[in-house]
């Protein structure tokens, strides 16, 4: 049933509840047995519903639902929307077809990353950016001289991520036929007098979809998915489980894996696309874009950092550990790490100073302080640079997807 559109509350009274509830809150709170909440982007969100291992396991085995509402959304419309986005971001927006999505980044003048996110092309002159941080001034300032309008639409959209090998089966059972939907494509379905948009995107590196609708249809969507998914072991997951999955998939998170250029207090903390090993995205031929000249110079001169995947010996997670060359010289830091239940390796994502990112001699070491019953166990473990993603199942991209 559709929730009634509530009277808009007095906007002055926000101080009564500094953290907002997402449109899915009635369901997530009911399911949140641990009552483990974390603030994210001004919302209360779930860290862990019941059991981290079960939640992670479901991502790789069944179907999981993750509440994406706090992601910041901007709508970009107008005659010059594509030209605007081409100037804003590093990828070529001209190559993005209507009904498609691509992952992209955008930089400041110095070629340092402002944020990453997904760009949806909803119609010819109608795009949506979905990202972690807030950028309205930068987006508006970038619009100077372009015939576009920019709106912040975060609260207008309720979003769920449905991920896992059974996610297609769940959608099918729920009556949404996405059999032909390829990765990074969008399909829309009429629901209850409105529309549900489904994109074949996700943050787990597995088969999965992201579902976008209006807040008043949020609960109905949730219920429909859980009804259809009951047979497939559908369950909600919190950020902790997702963080493991995304590490396995080698995905980065703003402010966890890099500090956005507009937020870094310390100047040396910012990172370029080369530093983050994301330079593959840059389209050098499309014309000017923010940071292009600085990045060209960096391409000539070389970069300081590289972003790599690490396989570390042993089984102790290396979160935030320092990386050494020859056990002596600091050459990097780990930003995300876990023991991967999926690939059975001790994995990590890390900033490594060049040229150590190409270290083949096996002389990289990670210093881990493992807290064991109030005492640190100090470990110096060998680390090997390896390809990302750590986990890349064929089912992720198979179309039509399998019914697992």
Partner 1 sequence: MPSFDAIIIGGGTNGLACAARLQKSGRKVLVLESGSAPGGGALGADFAPGYRAPGLAHLVHMLDARVETDMDLARHGLSWAATDLPSTALSATGDHLVMEGAAGERLTGSVSAEERRAWAALRTELMAFADVLAPFKELTPPRLAKGVGNDVWQLGKLGLKTRMMGKDRFREFLRMLLINVHDVLNDELTDPRLKGLLAHDAVLGTWLGPRSPNSLIHLLNRFAGQVAGKRASLAVPAGGMGAVAAAMAASATASGVTIRTGAAVAALIVEGDRTVGVTLASGEDLRAATIISAISPKTTFLKLLGPRHLDTGFVNRIRHMKSRGGAAKLNLALKGRPDFRGADLRSRLVIAPDEHAVELAFNAVKYGEAPDRPVMEILVPSAFEGGHAPDGHHVLSAIVQFAPCGQAVGTDAIRERYRNQTLAVLEQHAPGLADLIVGEELMLPADIEARHGMVGGNWHHGELSVEQMLFLRPVPGIAQYQGPIAGLWLAGAGCHPGGGISGAAGWNAAERIVREVRS
Partner 2 sequence: MIYDAVIIGAGHNGLVTAAYLARAGLKVMVVEKNDWVGGAAVSRELYPGFTYSNCSYVSSLFRPEIMRDLELPKHGLQILPYEGGAVFTEGDGYLGMHRNHDANRREIARHSPRDAEAYDRYARDVLRHCRFIRPMLLRTAADPASFRPRDMAELAWLGKQMFGLSEMAMYDMIRFWTMSIADFLDEYFENGVVKAYQAVASIIGTALGPMSPGTAYVLLHHAMGDVDGNVGAWGFARGGMGSITKALTASLTAAGGEVRTGSGVAKILVRNGRATGVVLENGDEVHGKRVVSNMDVKRTFLKHVDEAELPGTFLKRVRNFKIRGSSGKLNIALDRAPKFTALPEGSPYMKGDMHFTDSIEKMERAYDDWKAGHFSRDPFQDMMIPTMIDPTMTPPGKHFMSCFIQYAPPKIEGNDWTDQDRDAFAETVLNQIEAHAPGFKSSVLHYEVRTPRELEKEVGLTEGNIFQGELTFDQLLFNRPVPGYAQYRSPIRDLWICGSSTHPGGGVMGAPGRNAASEILRDMAKPSKDMSDAYAVL
Q: Is 255 in the site for partner 2 (CB under 8 A)?
A: no
102 membership: H or E segment, kind and range: strand 100-107
Angle at 219 (CA atoms; ends 217, 224), nearest 5 degrees? 95
Q: Which is nearer to partner 2, 43 or 289 (CB)?
A: 43
Q: Provide, rounded to whole angstroms, the least separation between the CB of residue 288 and partner 1.
A: 5
> How far, in Å, CA of 29 to CA of 230, rounded?
19
Stretch that binds partner 2, among 39-47, 120-128, 191-199, 227-235 (CB under 8 A): 39-47
Q: Which residues bind partner 1 (CB under 8 A)?
A: 83, 87-88, 108-109, 138, 141-142, 144-146, 287-288, 290-293
Q: Which is nearer to partner 1, 115 or 210 (CB)?
A: 115
Residue 361: CB partners within 8 Å, gap ≥ 6? none
Q: Is 8 in the site for partner 2 (CB under 8 A)?
A: no
Contacted entry of partner 1, partner 2, none for residue 39, CB cut-off 5 to 8 Å set by kind = partner 2
Q: What token pair was written down for 215?
A: 């807040």
Q: Provide, rounded to whole angstroms, the least separation between the CB of residue 287 and partner 1.
A: 8
Q: Which is nearer to partner 2, 64 or 254 (CB)?
A: 254
Q: Is 135 in the site for partner 2 (CB under 8 A)?
A: yes
Contacted entry of partner 2, partner 1, none for residue 323, CB cut-off 5 to 8 Å set by kind = none
| Residue 95: count of CB within 10 angstroms of its CB | 11
Q: Provide, rounded to whole angstroms, the least separation between the CB of residue 404 and partner 2.
A: 39
- Residue among 155, 137, 132 nearest 11 (CA): 155
Q: Is 302 in the site for partner 2 (CB under 8 A)?
A: no
3-state class (DSSP) for residue 65 = strand
Residue 173: CB partners within 8 Å, gap ≥ 6? 228, 229, 231, 232
Residue 56: CB partners within 8 Å, gap ≥ 6? 237, 241, 244, 245, 341
Q: DSSP string covering 4-53, please?
A: P-PPPP-GGGGGG-SSBPPTTHHHHHHH-TT-EEEEETTEEEEEESS-HH
Contacted entry of partner 1, partner 2, none for residue 194, CB cut-off 5 to 8 Å set by kind = none
Q: Provide, rounded to whole angstroms, the least separation between the CB of residue 142 and partner 1.
A: 4
Q: What token pair was written down for 360?
A: 């083949």
Question: Dihedral, CA atoms, 338, 63, 213, 31, nearest 10 degrees?
Answer: -80
Contacted entry of partner 2, partner 1, none for residue 227, CB cut-off 5 to 8 Å set by kind = none
Q: Provide, rounded to whole angstroms, the least separation between the CB of residue 12 and partner 2.
A: 5
Q: Provide, rounded to whole angstroms, the least separation between the CB of residue 281 and partner 2.
A: 24
- Residue among 304, 262, 300 nearest 284 (CA): 300
Q: Which is nearer to partner 1, 20 or 294 (CB)?
A: 294
Judge contact between 291 and 107, C-beta under 8 A. Answer: yes
- Residue among 107, 76, 73 nearest 199 (CA): 73
Q: Provide, rounded to whole angstroms, the least separation between the CB of residue 257 and partner 2.
A: 19
Pattern 137-166, binding to partner 2, x per CB under 8 A? x--x-----------x--------------
Phi-psi label, residue 304: left if phi above 0, alpha if psi -120 to 50, beta otherwise: alpha
Number of residues that bind partner 2 (CB under 8 A): 25
Using CB under 8 A as the binding rule, the residues of this chain from 258 to 287 that contact partner 2 are: 262-265, 267
3-state class (DSSP) for residue 283 = coil
Q: Is 300 in the site for partner 2 (CB under 8 A)?
A: no
Q: Is 42 in the site for partner 2 (CB under 8 A)?
A: yes
Stretch that binds partner 2, among 35-43, 55-63, 123-131, 212-220 (CB under 8 A): 35-43
Looking at residue 166, the DSSP 8-state letter turns out to be T
Residues that bind partner 2 (CB under 8 A): 10-16, 18-20, 39, 41-42, 110, 134-137, 140, 152, 262-265, 267
């Amino acid at each position: 049933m559709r929730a009634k559109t509530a009277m808009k509350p007095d906007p002055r009274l926000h101080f009564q509840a500094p953290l907002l509830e997402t449109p899915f809150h009635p369901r997530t709170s009911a399911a949140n047995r641990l009552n483990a909440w974390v603030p994210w982007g001004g919302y209360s969100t779930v860290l862990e519903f019941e059991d981290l291992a079960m939640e992670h396991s479901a991502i790789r085995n069944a179907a999981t639902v993750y509440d994406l509402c706090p992601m910041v959304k901007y709508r970009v419309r107008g005659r010059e929307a594509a030209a605007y986005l081409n100037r804003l971001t590093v990828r070529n927006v001209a190559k993005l077809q209507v009904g498609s999505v691509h992952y992209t980044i955008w930089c400041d003048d110095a070629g340092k990353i402002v944020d990453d996110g997904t760009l949806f092309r909803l119609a010819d002159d109608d795009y949506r950016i979905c990202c972690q941080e807030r950028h309205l001034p930068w987006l508006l300032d970038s619009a100077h001289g372009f015939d576009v309008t920019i709106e912040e639409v975060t609260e207008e959209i309720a979003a769920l991520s449905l991920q896992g090998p059974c996610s297609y089966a769940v959608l099918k059972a729920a009556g949404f036929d996405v059999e032909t939907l390829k990765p990074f494509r969008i399909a829309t379905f009429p629901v209850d007098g409105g529309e549900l948009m489904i994109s074949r995107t996700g943050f787990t590196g597995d088969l999965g979809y992201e579902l976008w609708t209006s807040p008043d249809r949020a609960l109905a969507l949730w219920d429909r998915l859980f009804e259809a998914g009951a047979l497939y072991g559908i369950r909600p997951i919190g950020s902790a489980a997702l963080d493991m999955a995304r590490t396995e998939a080698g995905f980065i998170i703003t402010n966890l894996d890099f500090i956005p250029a507009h937020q870094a207090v310390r100047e040396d903390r910012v990172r370029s696309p080369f530093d983050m090993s994301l330079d593959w995205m840059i389209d050098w031929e499309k014309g000017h874009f923010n940071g292009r000249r600085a990045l060209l110079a960096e391409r000539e001169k070389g970069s300081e950092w590289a972003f790599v995947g690490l396989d570390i010996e042993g089984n102790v997670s290396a979160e935030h550990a320092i990386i050494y060359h020859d056990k002596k010289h600091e050459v990097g830091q780990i930003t995300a790490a876990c023991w991967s239940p999926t690939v059975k390796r001790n994995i990590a994502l890390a900033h490594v100073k060049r040229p150590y990112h190409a270290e083949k001699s096996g002389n990289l070491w990670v210093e881990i302080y493992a807290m064991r019953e109030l005492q640190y166990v100090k470990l110096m473990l060998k680390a090997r640079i390896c390809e990302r993603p750590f986990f890349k199942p064929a089912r992720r991209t198979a179309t039509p997807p399998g019914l697992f």
